[in-house]
Amino acid sequence: MMTQAFYTGLSGLKTNTYAIDAISDNLSNVSTNGYRGYTTEFSSLFEESLNTISGQSTNNDSIGLGSRVQSTTMITSQGNIMQSDRSTDLAILGEGWFGVETQGEICYTRNGAFTFDSNSNLVTSDGYYVMGTKGNNITDGHITQPLSSTPLKDVSSQEKLSFPTQLTYPVDPTTEVSFAGNIGTEDTPRTMSVTAIDPQNNKNELKLNYSSPIIREDGGTTWKVTAQTLSSDGETLYDTQEGEAIFDSAGALLSTTLTNINNNGQTIAIDLGNKYNGVVAISNVDITTSATANGKEAGELVGYDIDKNGDIVATFTNGEQSSVGKVALYHFQNDQGLQRDSGVLFHSTSNSGNAMFYQDSTGNNIAGTNLMNYALESSNTNMTTSLTELIIYQRAYDANSKSVTTADEMMQKALEMDA
């Protein structure tokens, strides 16, 4: 019995030391973003069965002899969500892991404190590259195709999210202009104009000159219309087109022969409206003019942000935006099987299975859970629970220490009696 007490106490000291270390690690990382705490599970080294009267007991009566660490289990509960002031900070609302490259190896983390470095690489606070899918819509520093969202490629196709520091949104030349207003019926020249963007990203002027109205026998008027496209300084004339605008006696537009004009290589459709919707010629009513044009000038990169869907969004000086990539969100069949490398970094094992993506009903890869930008997930360690468990394990350690001391004293007494 003395030997049994001695070795039982020693094994208890060892296991409780391990448990204290695990909880101390949890408490030391209570302020670490994305930290996953661990709990310790124990089992008996040996068990001594007790004799019971057959048929009178349904319990498995036994006495445990010694203890050992059975396993350490990851706490998978959600950590608290904290607001931040950066759009590149991401919090996972549910299961899933971010992927980062560390020394050529892909590791996984819940810490979404990301930022763009001086070379526009998306990295962690430790400088590790964040993995994801690029939109493949950038060529020679230009956006080739604006994207509202980047489709997520397969797991094996994920790469470092690196983007150019200088990026241009392409010019969208003006292709349509619409004019409206009242030019009246008096023989006085009228002018309407609008800014039109050409393929070279120049802001040119498209001007309509109404002149020489003719009063027809039916009481309507026919105006001569001359359209011109000029450079903003008026030095260069790109095209001139002439036509007529025919109005009825009430001033409604019946038809026009002026349909389009060239703007330094881009054909622009001219819309004067129809009947009272557009340009009218009504006497004794105030003269008014208005015009609208589509198209947008090119824009230079303002910066990159991340939205709540994980899309990397480039914003430009012309107010346009485009997705250029997407942060990957990985999943595992068994999160408990992940092996922690250090702090908040984990790597996959045969127990966790390979990383995978969830898919929707059409087979497209999806995040499978919600993300929140301008937010970070804190450690999921519950300080109150951890401190309570720490006290319990410390008391257990003291008890096992006392049992070793008592066993030692008993052995000493036995030896003295023998002497």
- Average pLDDT over every residue of 13-42: 83
Residue labelled with tokens 């030896």: 415
Using CA atoms, how far apart are residues 163 and 116, in angstroms rounded to an integer?
Answer: 9
Question: Given pLDDT bands bounded at 50, 70 and 90, which one contains residue 53?
Answer: low
Q: What is the DSSP string of 176-187?
A: EEEEEEE--SSS
Give the rounded percent of residues in the chain with a pLDDT score beyond 90: 69
Q: Given 3-state DSSP classes, what are the helix, strand and coil percentages for the chain, each rounded to the nearest 5?
A: 15, 45, 40
Calculate mean pLDDT across residues 315-339.
95
**SS3 for 19?**
helix
2 pLDDT tier (thresholds 50, 70, 90): low
What is the band of 183 on the pLDDT scale with cuts at 50, 70, 90?
A: very high
pLDDT digit string (tens) for 228-286? 999 999 999 999 999 999 999 999 999 999 999 999 999 999 999 999 999 999 998 99
pTM above 0.85, yes or no: no
Position 21 scores a pLDDT of 80
Say which residue, 403 or 184, is predicted with more confidence.
Answer: 184
Whether residue 44 is predicted with pLDDT greater than 70 in this model: the reply is no
What local confidence, expressed as pLDDT, does residue 58 receive? 55
In the predicted structure, residue 59 carries a pLDDT above the cut 80: no
Question: Is the pLDDT higher at 31 or at 260?
Answer: 260
Query: CB of 131 within 8 A of CB of 325?
Result: no
* Beta strands 176-182 and 277-280, pairing class: parallel
- pLDDT at residue 5 tops 90: no
First vs last C-alpha separation in the chain: 20
The ranges assigned to domains in the chain are: 2-76+381-418, 81-167+322-377, 176-293
pLDDT confidence of residue 366: 92
Q: Which CATH class is domain 176-293?
A: mainly beta
Per-residue pLDDT tens over the stretch 337-350: 999 998 899 999 99
